[in-house]
Amino acid sequence: MDTAKKSMALSLRELKINSKKTFTLAKRTSVISTLQRLKSEGYRFTTESFTDKGMFVVKKMLNPESVTI
């Protein structure tokens, strides 16, 4: 299961800004857990659920290196 989480985290890290990735609704809890870990690394995402279609969509908003101070 750790391998699956790593590959999910890796695929989300590699998404381009404003790109979307779709997951099945069954993976929603796992995706949210991964997003929380990535948020602590500086990544920002938005999410949307489509229960009628059984989809959970993640959109990347920000990479950690995009932040300027």
Per-domain boundaries in the chain? 2-66
pLDDT of residue 1: 47
Q: Pick the more confident residue, 3 or 55.
A: 55
User: Using CA atoms, how far apart are residues 20 and 35, in angstroms rounded to an integer?
Assistant: 13
pLDDT at 48 over 70: yes
| Local confidence band at 65 (pLDDT 50, 70, 90 cut-offs) | confident
User: Which positions ≥6 away from 11 have C-beta within 8 Å?
Assistant: 21
Section 49-60 average pLDDT:
94
User: Using CA atoms, how far apart are residues 7 and 49, in angstroms rounded to an integer?
Assistant: 21
Query: pLDDT (tens digit, 9 = 90+) per residue, 23-43?
Result: 999 999 999 999 999 999 999
pLDDT at 54 over 80: yes
